[in-house]
Structure formats: structure tokens, C-alpha cells
Amino acid sequence: MRVLVLLLCWWASSAWASTIPLIPPPNIVLTGTGYVTTGAVTLSEVATATEMRAAVGAGAATIAATMTVGEGAAAVALAALRATPAIATATSLAYLAQLGIQKCLDGTWCTSKRSPAAGDTGFNGWGWNYGYNTSATGGNIANGVAASPGAACSAMLAADAYLAGQKAKFAGMKATGNGTSYECHYTNDGGDNFYAGTSQASSCVDGYVVSGSACVPDPAGPTVGASDADWNKGLTYPLPAAVASDMAAAKVPIPVKLTPSTTPVNVNLSDPYVDPVTGKRYRDVATVTPNSDGKTATLTTAKQEVDANGNPATDPATGNGKAPEKQDDQCSGHETRMGCIEQGEIPDGPDLKEQQVNVKVTPDSGWGADTAPCPSDLTASIHGMPISWSLKPVCDGADMFRPVIIACAWLGAALIVIGVGRKGEE
């Protein structure tokens, strides 16, 4: 009994509310991993205002939402650009240039040939000044320029006559100030420590040119094919919204994040009508409340008592509008439920063609012979004693009941024919 009550409660509550899908804006679809674009959409660096919808009965509820570039968009866009250079726009080319990637003369992707010191600690394209002693006792300073702080420390050790006399070895370096200078540390087997400095020069190393306040690979210089490492640099930064918009317009499925407003939306499902039992005027209404998953909403149906103008009736006790009442019609707002779907018309089929076929019927031998030989008696031996069992009584019984069985079969067939005929007459 308790189970029955629970089932009835569940059925009643399911008629009151249900979960419905949210429909994304145009050119966006929901996939197994989330929302992606299928065509042109406009994205901005801040959340873009848009709208989602929810089908309610024959109408729809409009829900305010925001849209941003989704997680994984950079990987999708870079893979598409790498595979199809022809879809690159001026915006995406500028974005790739920041990654050091450019379009080669043959239409493929390449990067400017970088300095051999590009992987050194502190390398930034600028030269690094260093000084060294030309005298074994110190003094007579000469100057040089290296491609990186580490290269400057190594060049200083190799050229400095005083450090050579002290049999110094490189022990490490560290950035000082704002990173435009480094301190080189040397030591020897006797435990002596020596320090020297290197600072950023005002010119770029070979193969690099000044661009703003930085040194970048010379676009007009030698190039090499863009490597996986070059493309992977873009994965560490968010994809610019302008690039995402261009890729969406090129039919690249860019992931986007849709966030619907959680404010409930009310929808009228019918015109005002009069309850024939109570004489009160009602209107069927629905409330759509987006869920936290951003993909579905809770649909609640009810009937709202209204006045002669179709506005919510006032509760005399409170002076406020009366609260909606539970909907008696379980199909209101749920017209797609199996029990609520209207039956369609059966389409007319093609005309049946008539074809005459000659059929030859060869009667069989009827019900067989009236008599047949009875099987021989069954014999066996038990403890050396022979016994036998005659089948004649069985055969005699079969012969006796044979006409009755045939008569019953004929009677059953006749009743079937009569019953079918009557059913067709109703």
C-alpha cells in the first residue's frame, strides 16, 4: 500500500513539473562535450548577451543568457588553422604572429629562424654586454656582447685573464634588478668566489629586429617550418574572442560556454476560460526555471485565476494576486508526452492492382484410411520372466474417438467462420 501511495505521489508531481531541454541560439548546437558553433557567431572578450529558448506547448519561452569562448577553444582553432591555412584571416594571422608563426610563401606555416641561444635562460632577443680583464693581475677591461645572459657569463670566463689565472669555474647566475641584468658567479677549488655582471644591450642579436619594446625574429629573415612546440605555445593562452568569431564563421566548431539566467520565465498557455463547475475564470500558465547545468530547465504548469481583463485575480485576504493553482490537465504544457500527442491522419495508400493467377488445386487423400494396423505387443523380461503389454485397447479407443475428434474440429471451424462474419458486420 505504501508503494502504491508513493507511486501516486510521484505521478502527481510529474504532472506538475518536468525537465525540458534548453534550445541554444542560432548556429550553436549541444554535443556530448558541450556547446559548439556551427556557423557565424559574435563573441567578445567580455560575456556576450544572447538568448536561449525552451519549447512550451505550442509556444516558447525566451531566456536571457550570456556566451563566452569555451574551454579548449584554442586547441580547436589552432588545429583548424594548422590543417587549413586558407581559413586564416587578418585577425588570426596577427594572433599567430604573436606566437612566432607566419604564413610561408608556399602557403604553409613557418617561423623565423631563431638564434641558437633561444633556449638559454634569460634569452629575449636582446644582446647582453659583458666585460673581462685582459691582464692576469686584473685591469685593462675589454667588452663584448653575447646572445643571452648565460652566453655572456661563459664568454666572460673564457676571455678573462684574471679568472683564468685563478682557475675559476662557472658556478651559476641569477637575475638582478628587473631582469635586465644578471650576476655571474665563479669559484675555484680553493673556495674563492668571484662575481661579475652582464646587462641587456640596446640592440638585438643577429636574426632579430626591434618591434615596440621587444626584439622579435626578423620576418624577412630565414624561416623554418613551424613545429609542434611552436603551435603548443598557443595552448597556454586563452583564444582571443575575435579569432574565435572568425573561426566560427569558417565553420570551425569552436567550444562556447552558455550561461542562462536563472530567473523564472512565465508563459501563457491558453486564453482565459470559465471553469464550468466553479464559474471562475482561469488561464493555463507555465513557469520555466533554467537549471544549473545550463542545458535544461524545469517546466511547471498551473492554472491562474484571472479577472475579466485576463489579469491575475486579487486575493481579498491579502490584496495581492492569487497564487496559481495546480493544473488538472496533465497535458497542458506537455503536449509532446506520449499520452498527449494528437493522432494524425492515416495517409491514403496507393491503389491496389488486380492480377489474375491460375491456381491448380489437387485434393489430398482426405483423412486417411479408416483403419490401420495396430502396433505389435510390447514385450520385456523381468528377472527372467517374460511379460507383454498389448496396445490393442489403445488402438480400439483411438478408432472409437476418431469420429468425435473430427466432428469437434469441424464444429470449431464453423464457429470461427461465423464469429469472423459477425465481427465484420458490427
What is the tens place of the pLDDT at every residue in 50-93?
999 999 877 889 999 999 999 999 999 999 999 999 999 999 99
Residue 153's nearest CA partner among 132, 137, 138, 176 is 132
DSSP string spanning 235-270?
A: GGSPPPHHHHHHHHHTT---EEEEEE--S-EEEE-S
Q: Which helix (H) or strand (E) holds 225?
A: strand 223-225
User: Which amino acid type is present at position 288?
Assistant: V
Strand ranges inside 314-390, DSSP E: 325-326, 378-382, 385-389
Distances (CA, A) of 298 to 7, 14, 20, 249, 340: 21, 11, 6, 33, 19
Of 262, 290, 329, nearest to 20 (Cα)? 290
Q: How high is the mean pLDDT of the chain?
A: 85
Quick: pLDDT tens for 372-424: 778 888 888 777 788 888 888 888 888 888 888 888 988 888 888 777 555 44
Query: What's the pLDDT score for residue 154?
Result: 95
**Cβ atoms 148, 128 nearer than 8 A:** yes
pLDDT band at 199 (very low <50, low <70, confident <90, very high): very high
Q: Where are the domains of the chain?
A: 15-26+53-65+262-337, 73-113+222-249, 126-209
Judged against a pLDDT cut of 50, whether residue 11 lies above it is answered with no
Which distant-in-sequence residues (6+ apart) come within 8 Å of 130 by Cβ? 143, 144, 145, 146, 152, 153, 155, 156, 184, 196, 197, 198
How many of the other CB atoms lie within 10 Å of CB of 273?
13
Residue 371's pLDDT band, with cuts at 50, 70 and 90, is low
Of 107, 116, 50, the residue nearest 83 (C-alpha): 107
- Work out the average pLDDT over 213-224: 81
Question: According to DSSP H, which parts of 347-391 are helical?
Answer: none
**47 contacts 257 by C-beta, under 8 angstroms:** no
| Structure confidence at residue 5 as a pLDDT band (50, 70, 90) | very low
Least confident of 53-67, 207-221, 326-340: 326-340
| C-alpha–C-alpha distance, residues 24 and 29, integer Å | 6
Cβ neighbours of residue 96 closer than 8 Å, sequence gap 6 or more: 81, 88, 102, 109, 234
- Using 50, 70 and 90 to split pLDDT, how confident is the model at 242? very high
Q: State how far the Cα of 282 lies from the Cα of 220, in Å rounded to an integer.
A: 77
Q: Could you give the CA distance from residue 67 to residue 256 in angstroms, rounded to a whole number?
A: 7
Instruction: Report the percent of the chain where pLDDT is more than 70.
Output: 88
Average pLDDT for 145-163: 95
Q: Cα(166)–Cα(187) distance, rounded to whole angstroms?
A: 9
Sign for the CA dihedral angle at 195, 201, 206, 210 comes to: positive
Single pTM value for the model: 0.54
Contact 159, 250 (CB under 8 A): no
Written as nine digits, the cell of 305 is 485565476
Cell of 201: 644591450
pLDDT digits (tens, 9 = 90+) for 243-300: 999 999 999 999 999 999 999 998 888 889 998 888 889 888 889 999 999 999 999 8
